[in-house]
Amino acid sequence: MTKRNTAQRRHAILAYVNAEGEVSVETLAQRFDFSEVTIRKDLATLEKSGLLLRRHGGAVPLPVELLDGTLKVSAAKRAIAAAAAQRLPEHSRIIIDSGTTTSAMIPELDGKTGLVVMTNSLAVANALHALEREPILLMTGGTWDPHSESFQGQVAEAVLRRYDFDQLFIGADGIDLERGTTTFNELLGLSRVMAEVAREVVVLVEADKIGRRIPNLELPWGSIDTLITDHRLEPAQRQAIEAHAVEVVTVTVDESESRR
């Protein structure tokens, strides 16, 4: 195959990922009639060029907020994070998982006293350390996963099992209305242990992710207590989630702040 044909295929893959929002390696291999090994090489090249982001088992478009070189948090994420922080009593022991929505909680914690926070994310740890009223910080340790930018593995799971927590705050790549939270990440063990050692599991997710049926089930509905999302949640979706005995909290988003 010529370099020209390779470039054309990669251009087509990028266009398809951007159009679909999230695509698995298997789907791309079937669509473009190439081996999964070749598709993974294509995705690696496209990610290295700064054109998309790889996830375990697939790829997602490069977020618009990253295109100008700065990380911005959407108004919906900020509103969801603020609502999550409001549910947090002082002197709580909590887990904050890696992710942009969970990370948006950090500024909201500055007025809280007596917090103990466990995280597997260096970004979350650094943000907590920068707070004027810094909580007691615990790190899981473990094996660094560059795709999720967090620590994973058996060491991290063993550390978590030595503690108990009041709440876990965790995001999701998608919400399957029948099964629970879904993700591209194939490293699922730590998320499930986090849920096991917390008395309340709170999922933070924007409404546009609800209904996404990504292959990897992360947390089943039976492990989730509360879901916080934005006002774009459809009534039928809310009813389906509440049917699993999950409390649903919706926040109103000021659209004028979406580009702040």
Pairing outcome for strands 143-145 and 136-139? unpaired
Question: For residues 135, 100, 148 and 39, what is the CA-based torsion angle, rounded to 10 degrees?
Answer: -170
In the predicted model, is pLDDT for residue 182 greater than 80? yes
List pLDDT tens digits, range 106-127: 888 887 889 999 999 888 888 8
Q: What's the mean pLDDT when you consider all of the chain? A: 86
List pLDDT tens digits, range 86-96: 999 989 999 99
Q: Which amino acid is at 236?
A: A
pLDDT at 65: 42
> Which pair of structure tokens corresponds to residue 107?
């500024």
In the predicted model, is pLDDT for residue 67 greater than 70? no
Over residues 24-40, the mean pLDDT reads 92
In the predicted model, is pLDDT for residue 71 greater than 60? no
**Backbone region of residue 142 per phi and psi (left: phi > 0; alpha: psi in -120 to 50; beta: other values):** left
In the predicted model, is pLDDT for residue 239 greater than 70? yes
